[in-house]
Structure 1
């Protein structure tokens, strides 16, 4: 690999600039490693705390190809001191993080001017100002969304978004748009509680939709974390909506060897617990790093797990219910005693991929983040869909439910409320009931796409070749 790097005559300098969220930073980092393997020079730009998490993840043979470029996050009134990522914030504070991210413009522009050799910038939705900032430089831009093509097809064309002819209220996003009516699984739309919740994390001055529309209009190409084997129709639709080069780069599936859990005492104790369970018997529950349910709904979820009668492993994050106040009784009193032996509640970080890969885990109750879905389907795990109320999660749930790859837990469209009985029934149907066999079979079949590293690397290779070709001929 190192030999390939040293002998690459077409080496480019590529700047990576992801949004300040773990679920965005890691796919950008995976793409960085692949491009570095091809011999390209990578400058990975983010804030100090986010980069600190990456320092030990750079493979030794790529260390001289990947440089972490640290830009201090400017202060913004309303943003809690020291916060540098969405996982550190309640959802109503995220707009202040977007305003702080906008103030990185001066720092990254200075870095680009000082470098004087950057060929490409691969950047996220948040920096809508970047194309204007680099207009006087000989740099090409690629917009990289870490979501799938279905999500962005649903949102519509940049011209409609920026022209104000599109949807203006949260309620407008609860119906299937006309341009998607002939797409398979066309029940894809937000529930009101989902889009209302996401509305609260958008900058009121420049919405997420406007940011992405401006990114698309200002870039040379758009890359999507997907592949045509999974989304042929919406990838084609996206090209029509964008009137621009849209390149699937594959699913960027993670690798078991990439985490540092081997030898960790907590993982070893968890592994022993899983080893004592029957094959495909355990439900794994993890709602991501950013979803906070009310205490009432956490209790309802707990009672549903209890009523299911099945073994489970539940990761509970210590996120505040209300800013500054942690939920002491986030788990019902006596719950862990009642389910002792059958269920385990785990607080803090867990090596999710290792848990999903364990033979005893048969199903995954997930918040429907795209990264978590990719991990689970790469291992053929059946999905119980419990979407969080932000970004793409609700649309992912509709997509997978419609394709009979997972089953969505019924929730009230307006409030997001649900019952413990519906949780228990959904879990049992996906895990053990006869009527869920098709779901389990379809999920296992997804391994051929999501777990096919050779297939996914093919799309990464095609994208790397695109960058070299467009750099050499200088054309669009």
Structure 2
């Protein structure tokens, strides 16, 4: 394809902030290169995105589709952050009902490419007759994708029991430091599944139906794994880079940040532990209490972001132990619901991050060299990420019972202290520091986005080979 020809590219993300934001970053880059971008999502999800720079508004437009109602989904819900995990299958069924409005849009819009997420398994069926090319955008890293396997494994019955997900699959041909699920994680993740269409089946169909796959990673971090994916998928796999976010803050939250910054400014360099879990992480009261007691026993200064649970998930405001905030007020800051995570991680007083192991949060931490205390939230790729980062020695996973996920406050405290301050954690801290050259490298990120853009511009089916 002539690179001087400007393309019309549609973006179609899944309904979660961790999915909409990476696709928006790619949209902005493509728009800067002069391509016309139609970013398709529901009104509420679009309203949560940051405002576009004025110079991009002529090339990047938002297309709003109202989310159809399905029985079982609470009224007004449009994203995973608004529902407990057992309601997410209904959100997927509502998302699938976007097929008709999307088909109508595509028939009347001269779209050349659709860059899509894991969910719309039906998309190849409506794109192919229209001559529209598809890019399956995996917002996960290559290791998580490789664990899933080739389309034949994703669509077949290779894994008949839950225990089959707790072992390294036979197609992994590189040292992977036991990157597999724990049983409690896969049991928890099963709640997330729609019995009508499993996620792995969605992904398998989309890999089969797309022109190429892109993953949110880079060769500098996962060289062997990206090469394996090309063999597994038998089609091009083009890494889009890590997409490190830019440091910015909505103006209406400046006052909250100033108070947090003042508190951090009074602390020593790399002395503060930052703790935050995604709003979709569903921990029991007992687990939250054990975490709190462990954080307290570590005797370290910390900031803990405690989020409200989604609608219908029970009480969350009082899920930390009674009196905890008062007992730790001399060295701990508990924030409710929201905090400017990127700004906190960027502050020189922060030395470590106790994380649920979402890939976006890991990227944000390592772009500022923060060592990781790994506590898998048990959803999606989080357990695989915990094993991956533990194996790469940039963090340490909190030891848990592999069957029920239970753990002790003493283990929490010991893991925190080892990562943050004790001599045997020095290698973890040094490795996390070195990761900044990859995760915080804006030039490297732009190089990957340029290569991704070039691949789309020059794509020719006859030129594709693996």
Same fold (TM over 0.5): yes
- Secondary structure of residue in 1 paired with 2:176: coil
- Aligned residues: CA RMSD: 1.4
| Aligned counterpart, 1:71 | 65
Structure 1: which 4+ aligned runs deviate by more than 3 Å? 473-476
Which residue, 389, 395, 398 being the options, matches 1:400? 389
Deviation track 1:25-84 (CA, whole Å, cap 9, x = no partner) reads 000001101111111111000011001112x42111101111100001011111111111
Structure 2 portions without partners, runs of 5+: none
Deviation per residue, 1:254-312 (Å, 9 max, x gap): 0113x315861111111111111111000000011211211111111110010000000
Q: Which residue of structure 1 lines up, in the alignment, with residue 239 of structure 2?
A: 248
Whether contact under 8 Å (2:279, 2:308) holds in the other structure is no
Distance in 1, Cα, partners of 2:330 & 2:52 = 39
The alpha-carbon deviation at position 453 of structure 1 amounts to 0.8
Query: Is residue 186 of structure 2 the alignment partner of residue 210 of structure 1?
Result: no
* Distance of 2:327 and 2:305 partners within structure 1: 17
Offset of residue 474 of structure 1: 7.7
Q: 2:300 matched to 1:310?
A: yes
1:280 aligned partner: 270
Tell me what 1:40 maps to. Answer: 35
- TM-score normalised over the length of structure 2: 0.97
Which residue pairs with 2:54 in the alignment? Answer: 60
Q: Secondary structure at the match of 2:333?
A: strand
Determine the structure 1 residue equivalent to 2:90: 96
Distance in 1, Cα, partners of 2:449 & 2:317: 45
> Which residue, out of 8, 28, 31, partners 1:13?
8
- 1:232-253 Cα offsets, whole Å, 9 max, x none, are 1111111111001000110000
- Which residue is 1:26 aligned to? 21
Displacement of 1:386: 0.5
Pairing of 1:120-159 with structure 2 (within 5 A): 120-159=113-152
Query: Do the aligned partners of 1:261 and 1:351 also contact (CA within 8 Å) in 2?
Result: no
Equivalent residues, number: 462
- Please state how far the C-alpha of 1:170 moved relative to its aligned partner: 1.6
TM superposition shift of 1:86: 0.5
1:140-162 Cα distance to aligned partner (Å, 9 max, x none): 00000000000010111101222
Q: CA deviation at 1:219?
A: 0.3
Distance 1:313 1:113 in 2: 50
Write out per-residue CA displacement over residues 88-108 of structure 1, whole angstroms, 9 at most, x where no aligned residue: 111110011111111000011
Q: Is the 8 A contact 1:261 1:267 kept in 2?
A: no
Residue 108 of structure 2 aligns to a residue whose secondary structure is helix
| CA–CA separation in structure 1 for the residues paired with 2:41 and 2:252 | 28
What's the TM-score, normalizing by structure 1? 0.95
Alignment correspondent of 2:444: 455
Separation of aligned partners in 1, 2:316 and 2:31: 43
Tell me, in whole angstroms, the C-alpha distance in 2 between the residues paired with 1:453 and 1:468: 22
CA distance in 2, matches of 1:168, 1:24: 29
Superposed CA offset, 1:393-444 (max 9, x none): 0000001101111100011111111111011000000000000000000000
In structure 2, the partner of 1:430 is: 419
Q: Contact conserved, 1:14 with 1:120, CA < 8 A, in 2?
A: yes
- Structure 1: state its 5+ residue gaps: 1-7
Residue 422 to residue 69, structure 1, CA distance change in 2 (3 Å): same
Structure 1 Cα separation of the partners of residues 42 and 218 of structure 2: 30
Aligned twin of 1:186: 177
